[in-house]
Structure 1
Amino acid sequence: MSFEVTWNGNDDPNDPYNWPFARCMAMTTLISVGGLVSTMSTSMMAPALTQISTDLGLGASATQLALSIYLLAFVFGPFIIAPFSEMYGRKPAWLFCHVWYIFWNALCPVNKSKGILIAGRFLSGFGGSVGIAIASATTADLWRPSQRGVSLSIVTFAPFLGAAIGPILGGTITQHVGWPWLFWTVSLFDSSILFLSLFLVHESYAPVLLSRKAAKLRKSTGNPLYSTQFERSHPTLGKKLMVSFTRPIKVLVTRPIIQFMSLLLAYNFGIYCLALATFANIFADKYHQTESQRGLNYIAIALGSTIATQVGGPVTDRVWAHLKGKASGKVVPEYRVPLMIPGTLLTPIGLFLYGWSAERHWHWIVTDIGAAIFSGGIMMGSNAMYAYLIDEFAEHAASANAAARSWTNVMGFVFPIFAPSLYQRFGYGWGNSLLAFIYLGLGIPAPLILWRYGERLRALGKPVEMMLNGSAETVDTMQTTQGLEKADEKR
């Protein structure tokens, strides 16, 4: 017989859901600012690509590789970081990855070597991927499902600003003190975030906190029978490692809902990264702006993303609460689907306007408006899908997020590489129109499929997953929102 360790009722102050509002908000905000570093690093090189190419003797393709290889690391990083955070906790993963990022990012410009630059970009990307690996999962630790839309809008606020701050910073620093200081400035900034994290980031993952509580009870009482559900399901270190570090791959392989979401998110993110990589070129080629001026146009992308998410977050929660009320308290992940629809419409509209205004040499503000519209559409749709995944996978949202983003980060790496060929062949007008038509083919059916068949898609693959994990207890931890609501009652 064993004694299951849980929270001491619904009001247990150690349960992150019952932490003071100020603590949760401070932690969410700092994690958001940490994500700013990651997105700045994605785009800060864009205005400096010409100077970097000249200084290092890089061709056009090699220069784009140096920019986008940072995102290639995002393919692999979350598959390690997410399960690590589910086994040892969010805080150790967060601190280690920031130390790793600071070191490799600062090393990138040393000796102005193309080998060091490309290797440093890739390795720093591994640490930078901690934001996408655990940020949304951490908000699920801290905030209840009824607050999911708002909490996601907070944690994604600063990262979306990075799309503008990175190129603006890149253009200004490159023009005045040289491109190596791009890397050193961001590493110094991230060092300050790391210092604050030591005090403001607290461990929030419930299974880890309960395991620590069980360990204290075993030590204080001398009774070895105190344990948590996770400890009973995976009693040995080897079993824990095997289950935790293979979970993202198993989820990706066995769950069609993850495969479906991965396809949608991949195309969304691919377009976004393509725009970040080529945005400055449009204003150089078509509008003949200086490096500093080109960087300022990125404000349009950040503004569109920020407005969409900050408006979309509260609306998501209101729609969720309304549908929950209509269903007499029953909740399903499909309640997040309605906010995918505006994104499906805004993204192609923005792409058409963005592409053809540049092609026809309309005023630069029209091009910026188009970029703001399509970036806002992409982020609104993406946040709705991330909320859907958190609702479905609950405690293992980090692993599910890593699995869903696998192809996302591949596309983020690949799209900027073929962008020069795309626009050289079709021009900005038809090039972006092609991207918009493909988006319409994927985006319009997606919300309809999820709303009508989402429950069936979510059910597919669960028996296979059970066999791969080796026990029903493991699968029981992969709770849907209904299960999470029941767990909340116990808390």
Structure 2
Amino acid sequence: MSIAHHKSPSEAPSAAPSQATLNTFISYPGQDKESSYGDWSGPILVTWNDENDQLNPLNWTSGRKWLNVLLIVMQATLSPIASTILAIGASKIAEDFELKSAKAPSLPTALYVLGIGSGPLVLAPFSELYGRRLIYLASFACFTVLNVGCALSPNIVVLSVLRFMSGIAGSVGPSLSAGSVGDMFSVEQRGKAQALASFGPVFGPVLGGVMGGFIVYHTNGWRWLLWTVAIAAGTVTFLGIFFLRETYAPYLLERKANMLRKMDPNGDYRTEHGPSDMSMSRIMVHSLGRPVRLLFTSPILAFMAVYQSLIYGILYLHLITILLLFGPRPLYGLYTYQFQSGTTGLAYLGAGSGAFVGMVLTAKFMNRSFASALARQIKKTGDTTPTPEMRIPFLQMGMLVVPFGLVIFAWTAGRVHWIAPMIGAFFFGIGMLMGFVCIQSYLVDCFGQYSASALAAVIVARCPITFLFCFFGFEMYKDLGYDWGSMLLAFLCISMIPIPFILKKYGPMLRARTLEKMY
């Protein structure tokens, strides 16, 4: 059954609808338009008018889709910028608050990362109940206010607590962006948009480091780092109020069904999404528990979470410890290239430029790789149905590039000219971005309408690991040095390389089992 929707909710009449009015909304199987809707007593399924319905985000114009993507990417980039922008000002925080502990100045950054990992547990399921737009706007408005509070913090305790809370609010961009892209683009077309959406969580921390170095140098303090974030977040929130549109199809269809229920209280209008026979409290409990449930019941999700946690943790470890290798003075007896006058932040461009090149390569070739895998399947079996496993070849390439970059960094840092370790970080950035985008796309393909919960599960897993990398990274390099500390990370990445081959073979079976449990 289908419901033909031609009016907005605000245009719904308050009185009971006439036969002619309701017939513009409803069509019944086996009946023509002249039949009385009162003769039909069964449930009425609310769907799109047809495959070209312009209310369906998949059918939006290209301009509308990319405007939405741009607004989403701005949130997904600004939040990671905030994660590292304060790291470059750690020494200023220590001076301002008279801190003696070497770890205390890193707490605001580490707790922010932990907050990013905690937020999706609630925000992602809520986005599947109340739509993406409301969660984006409400969360980023809170993010703006909390960053104002951080800028005014009187001590390290207040700063750390507010940074944790702002991490929770700011997690909405990184956790929902890939799912929002999946809402608007078909499987075959979403490669470019996913590359752009994934660029923010990867390049944002790099950009934060670069910006932070110059802001600290020219303002001689750390508070303007947070004022900058607050001003930018407020601007993005303001733009979102006017231009950000709802993309989540199940929510849009449920809103359409609610309008029809008001017009025809006697009709049993339902959508194909969601357990309509459950109470709201049960739906909430079921939805809020979904990310954790998926993380511990889906082998596919578990692997993707572990690998993304590893490469993301390495990225943050690299960004946090830039001060060791490129800072103005030696720390822990380790060699430093002694960059001066705010230029320390430029060292972030090694991994950052790699991430940029990785984004370009992914945007250009991931869709082609997917199409090539589909063509091989059609030639071999005649089956024209695309599968998420067609993302894996591109993921495998990225997984090979990551340890290559780490090995270069390991054996050049502190030994030769500073450009050599930055080249190693450059290759790491390329492979990391390729892997990051493929994982995001693969999970969106696998979990469909529950992709936000799946991506939230990955973030929930990766952020505590990133927190540990941030908090103990200095000690690792202090004990192992740049060479064997980085080689340890390379060995961990190499150990993960065989897993995609396993998923390529057994992925369909594992996905089927996961979906059975999820529903």
In structure 1, stretches of 5+ residues that fail to align are 467-474, 476-491
From 261, 266, 288, the counterpart of 1:218: 261
Moved more, 2-11 or 412-421: 412-421
From 490, 493, 516, the counterpart of 1:439: 493
Query: 2:341 matched to 1:299?
Result: no
Moved more, 57-66 or 392-401: 57-66
From 75, 79, 87, the counterpart of 1:38: 79
CA 1:232–1:450: 2 relative to 1, 3 Å: closer
**Which residue of the partner structure matches residue 453 of structure 1?**
506
**Which residue of the partner structure matches residue 398 of structure 1?**
452
Query: 2:244 matched to 1:194?
Result: no
From 150, 167, 179, the counterpart of 1:137: 179
8 Å contact kept, 2:198–2:433: no
8 Å contact kept, 2:85–2:212: yes
CA 1:216–1:5: 2 relative to 1, 3 Å: same
From 220, 238, 246, the counterpart of 1:203: 246
Moved more, 233-242 or 349-358: 233-242
From 294, 309, 313, the counterpart of 1:266: 309
Query: 2:198 matched to 1:156?
Result: yes
8 Å contact kept, 1:146–1:320: yes
CA 1:109–1:187: 2 relative to 1, 3 Å: closer
AA partner of residue 457 (structure 1):
L
Runs of 4+ in structure 1 deviating by more than 4 angstroms, as ranges, are none
Secondary structure of the 1:251 match is: helix
AA partner of residue 350 (structure 2):
A
Q: Identity of counterpart residues, as a percentage?
A: 34
**Which residue of the partner structure matches residue 228 of structure 1?**
271
Deviation at 1:302, TM superposition (A): 1.5
TM-score between both structures, scaled by the size of structure 1: 0.91
Per-residue CA shift, 1:60-86, capped at 9, x if unaligned?
111222221101012210010000000
AA partner of residue 120 (structure 2):
P
Query: 2:287 matched to 1:244?
Result: yes
Query: 2:28 matched to 1:28?
Result: no
From 396, 407, 412, the counterpart of 1:341: 396
Per-residue CA shift, 1:399-440, capped at 9, x if unaligned?
011112222111111111111111111111111011111211
**Which residue of the partner structure matches residue 481 of structure 2?**
427
Deviation at 1:385, TM superposition (A): 1.4
**Which residue of the partner structure matches residue 105 of structure 1?**
147
Corresponding residue pairs, total: 464
Deviation at 1:122, TM superposition (A): 0.3
State the distance in 1 between where 2:439 and 2:204 align: 21
Query: 2:90 matched to 1:49?
Result: yes
State the distance in 1 between where 2:168 and 2:144 align: 11
Deviation at 1:158, TM superposition (A): 4.1
State the distance in 1 between where 2:359 and 2:137 align: 27
Query: 2:311 matched to 1:257?
Result: no
8 Å contact kept, 2:115–2:167: yes
CA 1:291–1:31: 2 relative to 1, 3 Å: farther
Per-residue CA shift, 1:128-154, capped at 9, x if unaligned?
110122110000001111112111012
Query: 2:337 matched to 1:287?
Result: yes
8 Å contact kept, 2:337–2:414: no
Per-residue CA shift, 1:328-359, capped at 9, x if unaligned?
31221110001112211211111121232223
State the distance in 1 between where 2:202 and 2:514 align: 34
Query: 2:213 matched to 1:171?
Result: yes
8 Å contact kept, 1:157–1:310: no
Per-residue CA shift, 1:289-333, capped at 9, x if unaligned?
125111112122211112112211331211212222333312211
8 Å contact kept, 2:79–2:171: yes
AA partner of residue 258 (structure 2):
A
Query: 2:136 matched to 1:86?
Result: no
Query: 2:309 matched to 1:309?
Result: no
State the distance in 2 between where 1:332 and 1:23 align: 27
Per-residue CA shift, 1:19-38, capped at 9, x if unaligned?
11111101101111111211
**Which residue of the partner structure matches residue 114 of structure 2?**
72
Higher relative contact order (CA 8 A, sep 6+): 1
Higher helix residue share = 1
**Which residue of the partner structure matches residue 414 of structure 2?**
359
In structure 2, stretches of 5+ residues that fail to align are 1-41, 331-335, 379-383
AA partner of residue 57 (structure 2):
P
Bigger radius of gyration, 1 or 2?
2
State the distance in 2 between where 1:226 and 1:321 align: 39
TM-score between both structures, scaled by the size of structure 2: 0.86
**Which residue of the partner structure matches residue 483 of structure 1?**
none
Deviation at 1:462, TM superposition (A): 4.5
State the distance in 1 between where 2:350 and 2:63 align: 31
**Which residue of the partner structure matches residue 385 of structure 1?**
439
CA 1:231–1:394: 2 relative to 1, 3 Å: closer
Deviation at 1:456, TM superposition (A): 2.9
Query: RMSD between aligned alpha carbons?
Result: 1.6
CA 1:159–1:462: 2 relative to 1, 3 Å: closer
